[in-house]
Amino acid sequence: MARRPMMAANWKMNKLIEEARDYVEQLLPRIEGARGVDVAIFAPFTCLPEVVRRTQDAPVVAGAQNFYHEDSGAFTGEVSAPMLRDAGAVTVIVGHSERREIFGETDETVAHKAARAVSAGLLPVVCVGETKEERDAGSMWDKVSGQVRAVFEQLDAGQIGGEALVFAYEPIWAIGTGETATPEDAQDAIGRIRALLGELGGEGFAGEVRILYGGSIKPGNVDDIMAQEDVDGGLVGGASLEAESFAELVNAAAKHG
């Protein structure tokens, strides 16, 4: 089954509104030829409306980096799925390792968020991945499969298609470190995630779910990563902060569409 590639910029806690505007202005002309790839910008909440406005007529979607799974109420400091929709977001990162490691998000909260995003009509990009210690101890798959299973348990897979969510395999030791998983390691983990989704939700479902790789993707390694059979795209931090290098990644992904 042909899955449409996706290249996603995760700006993390970077950029003021004016910088976001300049970035989109620089990005759009550089990716004009990139058809057949979904492009997403995951912006901080404060820049989100600006990114939405600036990408309105472009083949680029705006997303948020987090939300809370209740719709409203006494949750000081949180933002809900309907609020993201209201601001024009169509997608949201869920369970990024920085949310899990720094802000204490558990498999259970991540799973609730993924399910709520789907039911609210937002495309969740659900992040999973192991630490260096877990990889060295041989428990990478225990960790990653547990994260995937937890999310799956909250989803009504019978009611949704595999295109309703995206996974991102992001080994924590490769995030922001310059150390990338080899293309073979990325394929191995992502192939196993797809096989597990097949067991849980059936082959048709698993064949539709897009699974991205994330962790120090840059113009120099994107082609080898995108060439892997089960890798459907990238979630990019550092190399997405400059429009020029992110455009290179988008154009590279388009070749694999």
Residue 112 a catalytic site member = no
CB of residue 166 to ligand PGA, shortest distance in Å:
13
Structure token pair of residue 32? 């004009």
DSSP 155: S
For the segment 159-198, give every residue that binds ligand PGA (CB under 6 A).
Answer: 170, 175-176
User: Is residue 199 annotated as a catalytic residue, yes or no?
Assistant: no
Size of the residue set binding ligand PGA (CB under 6 A) = 13
Asked whether the beta carbons of 61 and 85 are under 8 A apart, the reply is no
Altogether, the residues listed in the chain come to a count of 257
Of 213-242, binders to ligand PGA (CB under 6 A) are 214-217, 235-239
- Measured from the CB of residue 33, what is the shortest distance to ligand PGA in angstroms? 24
Min dist CB 122 to ligand PGA, Å, is 18
What part of residues 50-79 is at the interface with ligand PGA (CB under 6 A)? none
- Whole-angstrom Cα distance, residue 39 to residue 241? 14
C-beta of 91: minimal distance to ligand PGA in Å? 14
Closest CB to ligand PGA among residues 99, 201: 99
- Chain residue whose CB lies nearest ligand PGA: 237
Structure tokens at 174: 């490769």
Torsion of Cα atoms, 31 then 122 then 163 then 146, to 10°: 110
Of residues 5 through 44, those in contact with ligand PGA by CB under 6 A are 10
Q: For 97-242, where are the alpha helices, taking DSSP H only?
A: 97-103, 107-119, 132-136, 140-154, 183-201, 203-208, 222-226
Q: How far is the CB of 57 from ligand PGA (least distance, A)?
A: 27
Give the integer Cα–Cα distance in Å for 175 and 213. 11
Residue (133 or 179) nearer to ligand PGA, CB: 179
205/210 with CB nearer ligand PGA: 210
The whole-angstrom distance between residue 12's C-alpha and the CA centroid of its chain comes to 12
Q: How far apart are CA 7 and CA 114, in angstroms?
A: 20
Residues that bind ligand PGA (CB under 6 A): 10, 170, 175-176, 214-217, 235-239
Catalogue the active-site residues. 96, 170
